[in-house]
Amino acid sequence: MIDTITLKKPFDAHVHLRRGAMLRAVTPITAEKFSRAIVMPNTDPPIETVEQAAEYKKEILAAIPRGDASRFEPLMTLYLTKNLTPAEIEKAAGSGVYGVKYYPWGATTNSQWGYQNILEAKDVLKKMEGVGLPLLLHGEVHVDERNEEVDPYRGEQTFIKGILPELLTSYPKLKVSLEHASSAEAVDFIEKNGKEGRLVATITVHHLLYDRGDAEPRPLLRVKPLIKERSNRDKIRALVKKGLPFVSAGSDSAPHPESKKFATTAAFGIFSAPVAVELYTQVFDELGCLDKLENFLSVNGPRFFGLEPSSETITLVKKDWQVTEPVVTDEGVKVWPIYHKDMGLGNETIHWQIKK
Ligand code: NCD
Ligand code: ZN
């Protein structure tokens, strides 16, 4: 039995750090556990210019405790809003911007600025293809071409079938990352078409852990894309077990204040930063593929963005622990992570720990 594992320090290919007090509360957690992270731009207001991205990056760096400040690098992104121009894309390439994020209008938290259909953004996509700036896809159809709402359990499948092939054919050199793959259809598509440096996918820890039965009644597990029936989870597990170079970890850690998570309609977004590295390790251990963990967590992600993996390492040991507290912001707001002992499935225990 393996009970200790040392890895290059992980790379989070998808994280939400927010702004203000929430940012100050959650950023130190990500900065401690990851060497770098691709930071999502769906703040309110959204990040849509290089200048805003630079200012946002400063706010993030200012929130990191001194010891970690030189060791963590936030990698910034722009939101594909209708204001984003080819000229801004031109400027972004080589200016510390690592990707452009597409949100389907209306599908998730702060997606009201997105296009209904990504294919509408022709000039911007052409320019991104030209300068080699990756497109990060929230690959779901929320409202279809007849303006009808798609079953939210089928939004990703509709995107994979109806939009992604056309996108890839229209922009053959565009670098594309399918974020938070959550369905059997997404897994099949990626297995068949994935290619290092061209078409990759990120996988969250919550889509590896839970199924629809766990998630549907629990506000803490309310997230887009929705957590689906167990057969999908099992396909995602089988995918990571293959150790493909175009599949990597992207936690999609997305903190919300308690008041929004426990509202009548809970906000979409799972806060996983405090437990993600440990839980990815746990799942890989369960699947008997710890030998595939380092590439998934620490190597494949940076390679897609043209970066070298971290030269630092972390060590995890097999030792049980529980999350007993929420994170609390400096304004006194509670933020509940998944796998919390009382707020999760009930007495959830994590079997791996990062060695201090
Ligand atoms: C994210 C958030 O809260 O910003 N929520 C989510 O459910 N994943 C937005 C997103 O990535 O969809
Ligand atoms: Zn996200």
Where do runs of H (alpha helix) occur along 150-292? 155-162, 164-170, 184-193, 205-209, 212-215, 230-241, 258-261, 276-286
Residue 334 structure tokens: 């509670």
pLDDT of residue 46: 97
Distances (CA, A) of 44 to 22, 214, 297: 13, 30, 29
- What span, in angstroms and rounded, lies between the C-alpha atoms of 141 and 134? 20
CA of 255 to the centre of ligand 1 (A): 9
pLDDT of residue 94: 85
Question: Which of the residues 252, 285, 320, 342 is marked catalytic?
Answer: 252
The CATH classification number of 4-354 equals: 3.20.20.140
Residue 226 structure tokens: 């929705």
Distances (CA, A) of 105 to 49, 89, 206: 19, 21, 23
Residue among 354, 341, 259 nearest 33 (CA)? 354
**Burial per residue of 289-325, b for 16 or more beta-carbon CB atoms within 10 angstroms, e otherwise:** bbebbbbbbbbbbbbbbeeebbeeebebeeeeeebee
pLDDT of residue 109: 86
pLDDT of residue 108: 85
The vertex-335 CA angle with 329 and 341, nearest 5°, equals 130
pLDDT of residue 69: 73
Give yes or no for a contact between 171 and 182, defined as CB atoms under 8 angstroms apart: no
- Catalytic, 211? Answer no
Give SS3 for 296.
Answer: helix
Number of helices (H) and strands (E) in the chain: give both, helices first: 15, 13
CA of 132 to the centre of ligand 2 (A): 22
Q: Bridge partners of 352?
A: 318
Residue among 192, 196, 194, 190 nearest 305 (CA)? 196
The residue whose CA has the least distance to atom 1 of ligand 1 is 269
Q: Bridge partners of 233?
A: none
Residue among 314, 325, 324 nearest 352 (CA)? 314
The residue whose CA has the least distance to atom 9 of ligand 1 is 109
CA of 223 to the centre of ligand 2 (A): 9
The label of the residue with tokens 């929230």 reads: 138
The residue whose CA has the least distance to atom 5 of ligand 1 is 269
Q: How many residues make up the chain in this entry?
A: 356
pLDDT of residue 147: 86
Q: Relative to the CA of 107, which ligand 1 atom is closest?
A: 12
pLDDT of residue 146: 85
pLDDT in tens, the chain (356 residues): 889 999 999 999 999 999 999 999 999 999 999 999 999 999 999 999 999 999 999 999 999 998 777 889 999 999 999 999 999 999 998 899 999 999 999 888 898 899 999 999 999 999 999 999 999 999 999 988 888 899 999 999 999 999 999 999 999 999 999 999 999 999 999 999 999 999 999 999 999 999 999 999 999 999 999 999 999 999 999 999 999 999 999 999 999 999 999 999 999 999 999 999 999 999 999 999 999 999 999 999 999 999 999 999 999 999 999 999 999 999 999 999 999 999 999 999 999 999 98
The label of the residue with tokens 């994020």 reads: 101
pLDDT of residue 157: 97
The one-letter amino acid at 78: L
The label of the residue with tokens 């390790």 reads: 281
- What span, in angstroms and rounded, lies between the C-alpha atoms of 290 and 6? 11
- What span, in angstroms and rounded, lies between the C-alpha atoms of 126 and 86? 8
The vertex-144 CA angle with 140 and 147, nearest 5°, equals 135
